Amino acid sequence: MKRHVHTVHLRSHDEALIHRGTVLLEDALHTASFPESGRLLLVRSLDAGKIHSQQSSATLALVLEQRLAQIGMTAVHAEDPAANSAIAVYFRDQVEPYLCLAMRLSNHLSTDEWFWRLAVFNWQANLSRDEGFRRVLYGIMQTAIGVSAIVPLMQELLTRTAITPLLSALTWHDGSALLRACGWLKSKTSIGSIKPLSISFIPKPWIDLLQHGLKFGELKMLDRSG
């Protein structure tokens, strides 16, 4: 299980003890064994307790494992009304934060809760709605799943009839950037210099949505001639 720690607070009157505690905590976080549940667990804060200078990192790792297990049992789903005040929230997988955030943006709901900046790559509070949608789309490509994570995101938004606001937020600049990210356009290739792409295999609802939302300049992506 990957683990990311954003901020650590250690207190002592002795600078040497602070350094020792930092080393022990870093080693403990690397060696601790956390359950592989597949879900994304976000913890607001975790008290590691008093760290003794003679303590081993293995002993500290056991403390972290026990405390995280306790916190994990009390975690609520990010869509729970109590999520913003919870000490820990979870998403079912890496893609779900982006889907939930896109739905919140679509429905003009709050995106200022503490866990979004931890769950979504490069997320910031107080973004415009359009910029928020773009952060969702570009951010999901930074997950371990990679560019292919766009597919379940777009499919789910399409199913929920919530894809139009996201597509409407994109500009022709986003079009070329997304084509390059997907490997459909080489970095030095001009959009106007490449042949139209055949999309005869794409269902008509997707065609209509792409025509409505994506602006790729001179690139005739929607040419069915092949």
Q: What digits encode the pLDDT tens for the residues 6-21?
A: 888 899 899 999 999 8
pLDDT for residue 102 is more than 90: yes
Torsion-angle region of 60 (φ positive above 0: left; ψ -120 to 50: alpha; else: beta): alpha
What is the distance between the alpha carbons of residues 153 and 101, in angstroms, rounded to a whole number? 11
Please report the beta strands in 23-177, taking only residues with DSSP state E, as ranges in sequence order.
Answer: 40-43, 76-77, 88-91
Q: How far apart are CA 148 and CA 186, in angstroms?
A: 18
**Tell me, what DSSP letter sits at residue 185?**
S
User: How deeply is 117 buried, as exposed, middle or buried, from its count of CB atoms within 10 A (0-12, 13-18, 19+)?
Assistant: middle
Q: Which two tokens stand for residue 16?
A: 């040497």
* Residue 51 · residue 60 · CB < 8 Å: yes
CA angle 222, 154, 108 (to 5 degrees): 115
| 185 vs 107, higher pLDDT | 107
Is a pLDDT exceeding 80 seen at residue 185?
no
